[in-house]
Amino acid sequence: MTQGRGWHPDDPERADDYDRRFDALASSGLDVHGEAEFVTALGPASVLDAGCGTGRVAIELARRGIDVVGVDVDPVMLDAARRKAPALAWVESDLADLDLDRRFDVVLLAGNVILFVHPGVRHAVVRRLAGHLEPGGRLVAGFSLDHPVHRGGVALEHYDAMASDAGLELEARWATWDRMPFDPGGTYALSVHRRDG
């Protein structure tokens, strides 16, 4: 994923800071596995976690018996993922250049990943990820809608157009990972686009 705002390669503590934030949420009783629960309900045998970070979602999906590959461009985040789950497949790659020579039932973009992709290559990234889907497979993406488009945000209609250009059709949309109904005036969208089967 060609990195945009918010990425600091000279800060090796960011992986630990990221994990500590979710550990604190889990300790407070909050369910931090909503993404994994959502994806598991789709019934995939295989998932590509694109922009996997430190592996929080990928590790939980693997714990549930799903074949998972985690991909991220950030070596510091991937090192943290490898330390936590050395048996899983972790791939360092820019999403714009990704070529794993295999296909998946689900490709997941959780945690605002698409917002961290440079605007100039977002279209290429969506096409590249769609190319990693099995026929009938799903691209699942959750991202904030309240970041100004002129400062790196993504308009939902633009994301839908990119998905359509990549041969994907909108199957469903929610406001949250626990399937709250989507509100067009809301601040978050969870979109499921399906590849023709």
* pLDDT tens string 78-100: 999 999 999 999 999 999 999 99
Tell me the CATH number at 115.
Answer: 3.40.50.150
The confidence score (pLDDT) of residue 4 equals 38
Instruction: Report which secondary-structure segment, H or E, holds 57.
Output: helix 56-63
pTM of the model: 0.86
Q: Has residue 15 got a pLDDT over 80?
A: no
| Contact between residue 118 and residue 126 where contact means Cβ atoms under 8 Å apart | no
Token pair listed for 52: 């996997």
Domain count, the chain: 1
How confident is the model over 122-144, as a mean pLDDT? Answer: 98
Confidence of residue 1 (pLDDT cuts 50, 70, 90): very low
Within-domain flag for 12:
no
Within-domain flag for 24:
no
Within-domain flag for 116:
yes
Tens of pLDDT along 27-84?
Answer: 666 565 799 999 999 999 999 999 999 999 999 999 999 999 999 999 999 999 999 9
Within-domain flag for 7:
no
Q: Running DSSP on this structure, what letter comes out for residue 181?
A: B
Burial 46-80 (b: 16+ CB within 10 A, else e): bbbbbbbbbbbbbbbbbeeebebbbbbbbebbbeb
Instruction: Count CB neighbours of 139 within 10 A.
Output: 25
Within-domain flag for 59:
yes
The confidence score (pLDDT) of residue 147 equals 83
Within-domain flag for 15:
no
Confidence of residue 7 (pLDDT cuts 50, 70, 90): very low
> Domain span at residue 54?
33-195
Within-domain flag for 185:
yes
Token pair listed for 7: 């990425």
Confidence of residue 24 (pLDDT cuts 50, 70, 90): low
Report the percent of the chain where pLDDT is more than 90.
78
Within-domain flag for 19:
no
**CA end-to-end distance (rounded Å), the chain:** 27
